Amino acid sequence: MTHCLFLILAVAGSIILSFPRQARSDNGQLNVMTVNLLFSEMRDRDARLEIIADFVNTSSEPIDLILLQEVVGGTLSGTANSAVDLKSKLAAGGKNYNLSYRMANGLPGLLTVGNAILSLHDILFTVSATLPFESEEIFRGVEIPLKRKAMMSRINVPGYGKINVYNTHLCAYCDPLERLEQTKTLINFVKTTEWFIPGGNPIILGGDFNIPDAFIGSGSAPEYDLIISRGFADSYSIKHGCIDCCDMDDSTATGCTYAVEGNRYAFNLFTGEREETVRIDYIFLKNVSAVISSEVIFNLDPSWVSDHSAVLTKIALP
């Protein structure tokens, strides 16, 4: 979900920053994390990015790929680009990530919001697609038209080869039928891109999909069903054997990724009311050997980095 009050529409832009590839000790396995950075909270953004950087830099295993949504930049945001800020903090801890960014909304230099992929390995190239332009109802019938983006970076993994990594952020306060149209465009983007790069590439598709986990299995999540029908596996669901992985009536449910109890950021900007606790952040996989592990992180006080928690999945490549 996103707080959209300050978004201004413009043509998308991009940033690509690269460093030499970094070796791994466990070829054939990848750790992938996705997290929405929450663009609207400026005052403690640096501290929140510091929490992410500290987690990544002290992890017992390298986190190969970090998918970011709500990357903010421009004068009104107080930073040139929050993904570059995170990249710099990671570099200060000895982890040199390559960065690819695609702007979705905004006026460059003033205020922009977009998606980014950080990779420990070479980013060979990045392509992107604009999703259907939808209006989101923010408060009391007020609607704001917003662009959404999907991006794909082709990654060269040392000792293995090339994989394709997709990152997206679907509409939040929109009609579910509009989100379904965005999902159809996303899937067509994946299909077209993979047609141009044949060979059964391992595919990672992650991000903030804004598809409530509780709808899955009830026939009320056609967007999710469409993704699964195209051969993708929901990494967290597969690993934990759950359908509603954020079942609030189940004391063992740990799959919630948005507005987790105690999260001080998960309040509606306009009403001040607390948002509903749901699972809406996913890492989908295709053409991989196995899901080794999948967990939700940054979901306990005081490690809040956003109104979202992050999903961290470890996969085995074929």
Each residue's pLDDT tens digit, 221-263:
999 999 999 999 999 999 999 989 998 776 656 899 999 999 9
Q: Is residue 302 reached through a cis peptide bond, with omega within 30 degrees of 0 on the bond before it?
A: yes
| 38-55: average pLDDT | 95
Confidence band of 134 (pLDDT split at 50, 70, 90): confident
Q: At what angle are helices 45-58 and 82-92 packed, to 10 degrees?
A: 40
Asked if residue 77 has pLDDT above 70, the reply is yes
- Domain locations along the chain: 14-316
pLDDT for the residue numbered 298: 97
Asked if residue 146 has pLDDT above 90, the reply is no
Candidates 1.10.10.10, 3.30.70.260, 3.40.50.1450, 3.60.10.10; correct CATH number of 14-316? 3.60.10.10
CA 265, distance to chain mean position in Å, is 18
DSSP per residue over 162-229, as a string? EEEEEEEE--SSS-HHHHHHHHHHHHHHHHHHHHHS-S---EEEEEE----GGGTTTT--HHHHHHHH
Q: Of 24 and 78, which is predicted with more confidence?
A: 78
pLDDT for the residue numbered 2: 44
Of 19-28, 103-112, 159-168, 309-318, which range is least confident? 19-28
Average pLDDT, the chain: 88
Of 29-43, 192-206, 252-266, 275-289, which range is least confident? 252-266
